[in-house]
Amino acid sequence: MYDEGSVSQEFRALAEQADREFRDFLHDPRDLDGDAILARSCVYGYLYARYFLESNELLLNELRWLQRSGRPRAPAHACSRERFERARDVLIESLIERFDPARS
C-alpha cells in the first residue's frame, strides 16, 4: 500500500545520503562516479516533500514528466552532463518500474 509520508521520508533520506556521498567524493574522488551520485542527489532532492507524493498516481505522473522533460538538468558542477543524464534516466526509470502497478 502506498504511504505518502514513508515515501517522502525515504526520498529525503536518499537525497541526504547522496549529498553526503558527493561531499565525500569532492574530498576523495576514488573510483566513484560523481555524476551518478549527483544525479541521485538531484532526483531524490526534487522528489521529497512535494504535493505529487499525495498518491501513487500523481507520483507516477511526475516521474513520467521528469523522464519526458529531461529534468532535473545537470548542474554546472557536474563533470559530464552525459554521464549525469544517463544516471538520472536509469534512476527515474527504476522508480517508474517500482511505483507502476502495471509493471509489477
Question: Is the pLDDT assigned to residue 98 strictly greater than 90?
Answer: yes
Q: How far apart are CA 54 and CA 86, in angstroms?
A: 28
Q: What is the mean pLDDT of the chain?
A: 95
Tell me how far apart the 2 most distant CA atoms of the chain are, in Å.
43
**For the residues 69-80, what does the mean pLDDT come to?**
96
Predicted structure pTM score: 0.94
At residue 2, φ and ψ (nearest 5 deg) are -75, 135
Instruction: Write down the residue that cell numbers 547522496 correspond to.
Output: 18
Give pLDDT, residue 104. Answer: 62
